């Protein structure tokens, strides 16, 4: 009887632990998934305005400008089909360059301007972030379909 009680208690403990873990996980999961959209998708209005998401593509050549405070930068992210203006306040990563791939995380404003809280351009000069590469590939595909 004793052994059976112990086993039951253990099973109950395990079930409760797993239950709590699952609840925590699912709650946190739902609110912390960061989705990715290409500039074309953003321009088509597919991106949410209420939550954080990521955009990716190339930093358009000649588009990077500094504001008077020296720390706020504006630039344009393009997938060669559509472009999104981006504002970021802070120090840009070492590998952030015009004409190179970039991924930015932030929110879309009412005016269609993307305010980034994080700019990722990482690790290797010739390395294209997969999201950015994906955005370019999608835009290219769309354009070639239109051309046909």
Partner 1 sequence: MIPELGQFALIVALLLALVQAALPLVGAWRNDAALMATARPAALAQFGFVLVAFVCLAVSFMTHDFSVLNVARNSYTRLPDIYRFTATWGSHEGSLLLWVLMLTFWGAAVAVFSRRLPDAMAARVIGVLGLISIGFLAFTLTTSNPFERQLPAAAEGNDMNPLLQDWGMIIHPPMLYMGYVGFAVAFAFAIAALLSGRLDAAWARWSRPWTLAAWTFLTLGIVLGSWWAYRELGWGGWWFWDPTENASFMPWLAGTALIHSLAATEKRGAFKAWTVLLALTTFSLSLLGTFLVRSGVLSSVHAFATDPARGAFILGFLVVVVGGSLALYAWRAPRIIAGGGYGGFSRESLLLANNVLLIAALGAVLLGTLYPLVVDALGLGKLSVGPPYFNAVFVPLIAPALFLMGLGPLARWKNGRAADVAARLKWPFAVSLAAGFALAFALGEFKPWAALGFFLALWIAYTVGLAFRDRLRGGGAMPRAFWGMQLAHFGMAVGVAGIAVVAAYSSERDVRMAPGGSAELAGYTFVFRGVEPREGPNFHAMRGIVEVGRDGARVATLHPEKRIYTASGMAMTEASVHPNLFRDVYVALGEPLDDRGAWSVRLFHKPFINWLWLGALLMAAGGLLAATDRRYRLGRAASRAAAKLATQGA
Binding site for partner 1 (CB under 8 A): 3, 6, 9-10, 13-14, 17-18, 20-21, 24-25, 27-29, 31-36, 54, 66, 69-71, 89-92, 94-95, 122-125, 127, 129-131, 134
Please give the DSSP secondary-structure letter assigned to residue 74.
E
Beta-carbon contacts of 116 under 8 Å, excluding residues fewer than 6 positions away, are 86, 87, 88, 104, 105, 106
Name the residue nearer to partner 1 (CB basis): 49 or 117: 117
d(C-alpha 70, C-alpha 12), whole Å: 59
Nearest residue (CB) to partner 1, 33 versus 44: 33
Q: How far is the CB of 87 from partner 1 (least distance, A)?
A: 14
The structure tokens listed for 120 are: 């990722």
* Shortest distance in whole angstroms from residue 75 CB to partner 1: 14
Tokens 């500039």 belong to which residue? 39
Alpha carbon distance 63, 47 (integer Å): 23
* Residue whose structure tokens are 């000069």: 125
Shortest reach from residue 10's CB to partner 1, in Å? 7
Write down the least CB distance from residue 40 to partner 1, Å.
14
Find the helix or strand (DSSP H, E) in which 46 lies: none
């Amino acid at each position: 009887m004793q052994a059976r009680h112990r086993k039951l208690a253990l099973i109950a403990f395990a079930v409760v632990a797993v239950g709590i873990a699952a609840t925590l996980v699912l709650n946190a999961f739902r609110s912390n998934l960061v989705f990715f959209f290409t500039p074309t998708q953003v321009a088509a209005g597919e991106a949410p305005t209420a939550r954080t998401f990521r955009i990716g593509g190339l930093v358009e050549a000649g588009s990077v400008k500094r504001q008077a405070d020296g720390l706020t930068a504006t630039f344009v992210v393009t997938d060669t089909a559509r472009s999104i203006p981006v504002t970021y306040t802070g120090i840009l990563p070492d590998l952030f360059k015009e004409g190179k791939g970039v991924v930015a995380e932030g929110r879309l404003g009412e005016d269609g301007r993307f305010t980034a809280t994080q700019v990722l351009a990482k690790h290797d000069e010739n390395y294209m972030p997969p999201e950015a590469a994906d955005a370019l590939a999608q835009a290219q595909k769309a354009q070639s379909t239109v051309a046909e």
